[in-house]
Amino acid sequence: MCARMPPTWFVYLLRCADETLYCGITNDVPRRTAAHQAGLVKYTRGRRPVAVVYVESAADRAEASRREHHVKRLSRAKKLEMVAAHATEMAS
């Protein structure tokens, strides 16, 4: 019998059409992004389209929630630095 692996959680940042940044957590980034694009998430409903600009993994939901809380408290400039560093890392 195959042991089931616990889901991996992710912290993500979206860039909305109005240039605001939205931070959230999920265990399925494509599904959650589709929910944002479909207007099922209150904050992003009127700010579509959205684009995923940052993703980092977390060991579990609790860790993802703690990291989300930390990221939400960062200034916009610090969040944009995270996005830029992530883009550079993904390009390498």
Model pLDDT for residues 56-86, shown as the tens digit of each residue: 999 999 999 999 999 999 999 999 999 999 8
Model pLDDT for residues 25-35, shown as the tens digit of each residue: 999 999 999 99
Q: Does the pLDDT value for residue 2 go beyond 60?
A: no
CA angle 17, 35, 83 (to 5 degrees): 50
Q: Hey, what domains does the chain have and what are their CATH numbers? A: 9-91 (3.40.1440.10)
In sequence order, what DSSP letters do the residues of 27-68 get, joined into one string? Answer: S-HHHHHHHHHTT-SHHHHTT-S-EEEEEEEESSHHHHHHHH
